[in-house]
Amino acid sequence: MMSLAVLLSRARVALGLAVLLAAAPALQAQSTVVRIATTQGNLDLRLLDEAVPRTVVNFIAYLRAGSYKDNMFHRSARSTPAGGVEGPFVIQGGGYRWTQSDLTPVAVTKNNPVANEFSTTRSNLRGTVAMAKIGGNPNSATNEWFVNLSDNTSLDTQNGGFTVFAQVSSDGMGVADRIAALARYNAGGAFNEMPVTKTEIRDFAALRDAAVLITEVIEYPSKATATDADRIFDFLEHHYPQHVPAQGRQSGSADGYTYRHYPQTGAYLGVKDSQVYYLVPSLGGEVKRLGSLTDWLVHALTNGF
């Protein structure tokens, strides 16, 4: 765990103390966190439960049915922007399972397609997760999904727009980049851009050993009695009581911030626009960015908060 002093060295934003003192009802945003454990490391996703409810319910239905365990990343695609250099585009999974007892990959049984929930407020930027679809059919998303490795805004205007339903943590994007950097193997059909850890492949057994497999999927559900901000604040209070002691704390919201005030130290914690902030008026009155809501929510939920 990094010290709070290190975290406070991050980017700053200006905000008057009076704004944070204006009390208003607390926001009730809630998110589910999913850990996708792969043979290359963990991908932690914060699902956008309230923004895209149908898509999230669809994803969780496959997850709870076990469809994503022993699944695989069958596609690692690259793209070349106009006048640019070829680079990572997406890594894609969800469509095929490959257990120890299967000689070849087995297609996941598809449920009914989910209606498209694309919005221009949720662009296909690096670090987002979106549903794959059949060309020419905006409402055809089922079990396959992909991680955007670049700012793929062109996907916002194709096929009705590709629905972003999750955000990957910073650590998770390190894993995604590691997968994208692997060699690609053409095993034909849907597997013509398959990421592999070795290229000397003589049979399907060797191909499975080289594949990027999903070994476990863990769901950390949102809690009806706590918001995302609550869980993050509780986590920070537990780990940094010297800076944000829970005794006598006060809660509120203003100007888009949900916050807690700590009278003993004069400090504030706040959440706004998917970022977490910290303010100590006695140290200059500047609000300092601690990091993304996704990263802190992953820490909080995976530690039981």
Cα 59 from Cα 130, distance rounded (Å): 11
Query: What pLDDT is attached to residue 12?
Result: 29
Closest alpha carbon to 127 in 80, 156, 99, 165: 165
Please determine, for residue 18, whether its predicted confidence score (pLDDT) is greater than 60.
no
Cα 36 from Cα 56, distance rounded (Å): 15
The answer to which of 124-138, 162-176, 280-294 has the lowest mean pLDDT is: 280-294
Query: What pLDDT is attached to residue 280?
Result: 87
**179-219, pLDDT tens digit by residue?**
999 999 999 999 999 999 998 998 889 999 999 999 999 99
Confidence tier at 226 by pLDDT (50, 70, 90): confident
Closest alpha carbon to 183 in 172, 194, 173, 192: 194
Confidence tier at 80 by pLDDT (50, 70, 90): confident
Query: What pLDDT is attached to residue 83?
Result: 66
The answer to which of 42-56, 95-109, 166-180, 217-231 has the lowest mean pLDDT is: 217-231
Mean pLDDT, all residues of the chain? 89
In what side-by-side order are the strands of the sheet with 267-272? 12-13, 287-292, 275-279, 267-272, 257-262, 250-254
Closest alpha carbon to 115 in 93, 147, 134, 138: 138
Any idea which fold 33-220 has? Cyclophilin (2.40.100)
- Average pLDDT of 93-113? 95
Q: Which residue has the tokens 């060797």?
A: 206
* Strand blocks (E) in 103-173: 106-107, 128-131, 145-148, 164-168
Query: What pLDDT is attached to residue 164?
Result: 98
Q: Which residue has the tokens 């049984």?
A: 109
Query: What pLDDT is attached to residue 20?
Result: 32
Query: What pLDDT is attached to residue 22?
Result: 31
**256-296, pLDDT tens digit by residue?**
899 999 999 999 999 999 999 999 888 777 889 999 999 99
Higher pLDDT, 147 or 84: 147
- Give the whole-number percent of the chain exceeding pLDDT 90: 77
> What are residue 261's DSSP bridge partners?
250, 268
Domain ranges of the chain: 4-29+226-302, 33-220
Query: What pLDDT is attached to residue 26?
Result: 36
Confidence tier at 82 by pLDDT (50, 70, 90): low
Query: What pLDDT is attached to residue 75?
Result: 97
Higher pLDDT, 233 or 30: 233
Cα 4 from Cα 69, distance rounded (Å): 36
Q: Alpha helix (H) ranges present in 101-200?
A: 170-180
Closest alpha carbon to 35 in 24, 45, 23: 45
